[in-house]
């Protein structure tokens, strides 16, 4: 910043300007082409200022006696917003309510069912499990003598056994 302060005024007027200023202003105002109108632009009633003080005090006293009313319009705004949100929610639920397919037991994956039984102890006995299983779809041979082919067994061993060499299958082949 500039630390030097100057006392010089940047504006200047010609010498003797204000000596003849009153005369030049009076000459301009008396000309016929003067920008100032000859008649007053505003009219005031004749007794306006006589009773102005009494009218002002009466108005101020009236404002002091009338209590201020707090409008409840912001509450109405929130009610309208809440009602519109509720309507949209009910409409969305109503549209999706009938479109949903009913889930059945067959829609569940076997892995989910097994995970449920593994995670939850149901304390079911073998008799209770046998009551639930449908008897007419299974045969006794399915449980006693499972039908395994040699190819299926080898595929299973390839996928699930890490050390295939340790099984010593070479001697039996």
Residue 167 inside a domain? The answer is yes
In the numeric block, the tokens 């149901």 are attached to 122
Residues 6+ apart with CB under 8 A from 111: none
- Say if CB 164 and CB 158 are below 8 A apart: yes
Residue 148 inside a domain? The answer is yes
Query: Residue 87 has what pLDDT?
Result: 94
Residue 173 inside a domain? The answer is yes
Structural domain of 170: 140-173
C-alpha distances (whole Å) from 116 to each of 110, 111, 125 are 10, 9, 17
Query: Residue 86 has what pLDDT?
Result: 95
Tokens found for residue 28: 């301009």
Residue 151 inside a domain? The answer is yes
Query: Residue 137 has what pLDDT?
Result: 76
Query: Residue 52 has what pLDDT?
Result: 87
Query: Residue 85 has what pLDDT?
Result: 95
Residue 18 inside a domain? The answer is no
What is the secondary structure of the chain as a DSSP string?
A: ---------S----TTTTTSHHHHHHHHHHSTT-SS-SS-S----TTTTTSHHHHHHHHHHHHHHSPPPPP-HHHHHHHHHHHHHHHHHHHHHHHHHTTPPPP-GGGS-HHHHHHHHHHS-----HHHHHHHS-STT--HHHHHS----HHHHHHHHHHH-S-GGGG--TTT-
Query: Residue 172 has what pLDDT?
Result: 54
Tokens found for residue 103: 């889930």
In order along its 173 residues, the chain shows pLDDT tens digits of 556 666 777 788 888 888 888 888 888 777 777 677 777 778 888 888 888 888 899 988 887 776 777 776 777 788 889 999 999 998 888 776 666 667 677 777 778 888 887 788 777 777 887 787 777 777 777 667 767 788 888 888 788 777 666 666 655 55
Residue 146 inside a domain? The answer is yes
Q: Tell me how far apart the alpha carbons of residues 93 and 88 are, in angstroms, rounded to a whole number.
A: 9
Residue 168 inside a domain? The answer is yes
Residue 19 inside a domain? The answer is no
**Structural domains in the chain (count):** 1
């Amino acid at each position: 910043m500039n630390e030097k302060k100057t006392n010089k005024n940047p504006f200047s007027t010609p010498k003797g300007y204000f000596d003849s200023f009153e005369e030049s202003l009076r000459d301009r105002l008396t000309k016929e082409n003067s920008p100032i109108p000859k008649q007053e632009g505003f009219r005031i009633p004749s007794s306006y200022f006589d009773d102005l003080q009494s009218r002002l005090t009466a108005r101020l006293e009236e404002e002091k006696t009338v209590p201020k009313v707090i409008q409840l319009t912001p509450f109405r705004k929130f009610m309208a917003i809440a009602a519109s949100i509720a309507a949209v929610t009910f409409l969305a639920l109503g549209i999706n309510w009938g479109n949903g397919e009913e889930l059945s037991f067959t829609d569940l994956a076997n892995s989910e069912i097994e995970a449920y039984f593994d995670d939850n102890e149901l304390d079911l006995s073998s008799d209770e499990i046998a009551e639930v299983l449908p008897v007419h779809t299974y045969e006794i041979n399915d449980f006693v003598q499972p039908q395994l082919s040699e190819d299926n067994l080898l595929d299973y061993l390839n996928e699930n056994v890490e050390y295939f060499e340790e099984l010593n299958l070479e001697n039996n082949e």
